[in-house]
Amino acid sequence: MTTTEPGTSRTAPPSILPAARAIDLVKTYGKGDAVVHALDGINVEFESGKFTAVMGPSGSGKSTLMHCMAGLDTPTSGRTFVGEREIGKLDDAGLTQMRRDQIGFVFQSFNLVPTLTARDNITLPADLAKVKVDQAWFDYLVGQLRIGDRLSHRPSEMSGGQQQRVACARALIERPDLVFADEPTGNLDSNASAEMLAFMRRSVTELSQSIVMVTHDARGAAYADRVVFLADGKVVDELVSPTADSVLERMKQLGS
């Protein structure tokens, strides 16, 4: 028998498993004198239903970490898990299914299909999976991200910020358990950036979405529950319940 404290919800028991984790993750590019240790033995957990920010200087391995943990790139050694499933143990079909059903990815460079309208870009993952788009969820995302008047435009007819928001809607359309977002506010002005961050925060707080976001903006990182700091392919620090000031202070200490 388990007991429930008064006032606590019984409907959403805390998940013990992290949304994703990496064990001794190494990614090496090149050979000999030209070798680059993009990831140099990373051990990290990203909690379920939490918003984690990843920070670090340019070239510290942030994008490589996101790509390896989302199964978009293969590590040189080490293990990565999404929930209980180990990515390296999946066959091609399993990996495709995981990327489609469990993971959303917002790329640093959007990766929208230039010949498709915003609407068709957003629904592409569902269309490829041959599943019906949840129209209410589509409308919600489009409304939250304020791209309703851009749905018939192609990427070349949209600003960087609008493309970024379309890319975000596309990452979320299939309600993935876990979203990786690589500098999702990198192309947004401060107002649009604050809106995007508030949207992600609400997705975590209200919908229990798990989000891992790369950012180099201390104010952006302050929306997260925890900040993980990388340097030279290693996790060098972390900060729980960050504020913009505490993040800036920590960045100063780390010399980045």
Residue 20 phi/psi, 5° resolution? -155, 155
Reported as half-sphere exposure (CB side, CA atoms, 13 A), residue 60 has a value of 20
Are 62 and 182 in contact by the 8 Å Cβ rule? The answer is yes
Judge contact between 85 and 97, C-beta under 8 A: no
3-state secondary structure of 180: strand
Q: Does residue 64 touch Mg ion according to CB under 5 A?
A: no
Give the nearer residue to ligand ADP in terms of CB position, either 76 or 97: 76
* DSSP label of 145: T
Residue nearest to Mg ion (CB): 63
The reply on whether position 80 binds ligand ADP by CB under 6 A is no
d(CA 85, CA 88): 9
Q: Contact with ligand ADP (CB under 6 A): which of 23, 26, 36, 248?
A: 36
Q: Which of 60, 144, 162, 209 binds ligand ADP (CB under 6 A)?
A: 60
Footprint (CB under 6 A) of ligand ADP, residues 105-144: none
Of the pair 165, 216, the CB lying nearest Mg ion is at: 216
Q: 208 with 12: CB under 8 angstroms? A: yes
Would you count residue 186 as binding ligand ADP (CB under 6 A)?
A: no
63 binds Mg ion (CB under 5 A): yes
Q: Which residues contact 251 (CB under 8 A, 6 or more apart)?
A: 55, 218, 229
Q: Which does 140 bind (CB under 5 to 8 A by kind): Mg ion, ligand ADP, none?
A: none
Give the one entry of ligand ADP, Mg ion, none that residue 59 binds, where binding means its C-beta sits below a cut-off of 5 to 8 angstroms depending on kind: ligand ADP
Residue 123 engages Mg ion in binding (rule: CB under 5 A): no
Interface with ligand ADP by CB under 6 A: which residues?
29, 36, 38, 56, 58-64
